Amino acid sequence: MEDFNRTTPESLLVVAAHPDDIEFCVSGTVMQWVERGTRVTYCIVTDGGAGGYDPALPRQAMADLRRAEQVHSAKLSGVADVRFLGYPDSFVEPSVELRRDLCRIIRQVRPQRAVIPSPEINWSRAADLHPDHRAVGDASLRAVYPEARNPSPTPPSSRKKAWSPGPSTNSGS
Ligand SMILES: [Zn+2]
């Protein structure tokens, strides 16, 4: 029997709250999978406008800079498909709108595996306490299961065919 945890996925969706989260958390693993042929899509939920350390830089300029950095970094990791949802940085909630946006992307990308932030609080790592991370994790988990696989999802999603990441629940295209 195939050990799913140790196999290389054919396709992967990585969802993150901010431009740079993936680089901090999982890009090394992504690069290894890309090297083995995995098709990878990044989905960045916020515009990143609340980040950075230069108070003189307008927030939109910061968002533009971080978006460009994310695209560049993804390219260096072998990832060309980067999608930005543009939600305001630091104000993310696991809303119906966000869940619908994530469902749409899951159905478009049809990943075999999804890497998402944890919606749980990890008191031992301050960076994990950012509410955007947990909100994106919560919304992503709901989008992966059950919403993207449900033909009649709540919330209503795209008209694309239902999809569930994993090796055995999908047939064909
Ligand atoms: Zn972050």
Q: Is residue 103 part of a domain?
A: yes
Instruction: State residue 135's pLDDT score.
Output: 97
Q: How far is the CA of 130 from the centre of ligand 1 (A)?
A: 7
User: Assign residue 53 a region: left if phi > 0, alpha if psi is -120 to 50, beta otherwise?
Assistant: alpha
Query: Around ion ligand 1, which residues have CB less than 5 A away?
Result: 17-18, 21
Q: How far is the CA of 121 from the centre of ligand 1 (A)?
A: 14
Domain holding 78, by residue range, is: 10-147
Helical axes 96-109 vs 131-142, angle rounded to 10°: 60
Burial of 3 (0-12, 13-18, 19+ CB in 10 A): exposed
Average pLDDT of the chain is 89
Q: How far is the CA of 20 from the centre of ligand 1 (A)?
A: 7
pLDDT band per the 50, 70, 90 thresholds, residue 173: very low
Q: How far is the CA of 19 from the centre of ligand 1 (A)?
A: 7
Q: Is residue 172 part of a domain?
A: no
Q: How far is the CA of 173 from the centre of ligand 1 (A)?
A: 33
Q: Is residue 126 part of a domain?
A: yes
Q: Is residue 157 part of a domain?
A: no
Q: Is residue 159 part of a domain?
A: no
Strand (E) positions, the chain?
Answer: 11-16, 39-46, 81-87, 113-115
pLDDT single digits (tens) 82-128:
999 999 999 999 999 999 999 999 999 999 999 999 999 888 887 67
Say what the pTM is. Answer: 0.88
Q: Is residue 167 part of a domain?
A: no
Q: How far is the CA of 17 from the centre of ligand 1 (A)?
A: 6
User: Total domain count for the chain?
Assistant: 1
- Cα–Cα distances in angstroms (integers) from residue 61 to residues 1, 44, 64, 74, 151, in the given order: 51, 17, 5, 20, 40
CA dihedral 128, 15, 72, 19 (to 10 degrees): -40
| CATH number, position 119 | 3.40.50.10320
